[in-house]
Chain A
Amino acid sequence: MSTEQPWSRAKGPFAAVFTAPALWLLFFFLVPLAIIWAYSFGTTQGLTDIDINGTFSNYVRIADPVYIEVFVKSLWYAALTTFLCLVVGFPVALAITFSSDRQKVWLLLLIMLPFWTNLLVRTYALMAVLRTEGFVNDMLGWVGLGPWPLLHNNFAVVFGLVYVNLPFLVLPLYSALDRLDRSLLEASLDLGAGHIRTIFEVVVPLALPGILSGLLITFIPALGSYLTPDLLGGPDSQMIANVIERQFKRANDWPFGSALSFILMYLTFFAIAAQGLVAKRRKGLEQ
Chain B
Amino acid sequence: MNLRILLTAALALAMTSGGSRAADPRYPDWPCTQAKVPEISLAAVWAGPALDDVQNSWKDDAKVSALVSKLSARKTPIDEAEKSVKDFLAASATDKTANAKLLFAGLFDTLNAQRSQVMNGLERVSRKQREAADKIREETLQLQALQGTTPRDEAKVEALSNDLIWKTRIFEDRHKVVRFVCEVPTAIDQRLFALGRVIQQEME
A and B interact physically: no
Q: Which residues of B contact A (CB under 8 A)?
A: none
Q: Which residues of A contact B (CB under 8 A)?
A: none
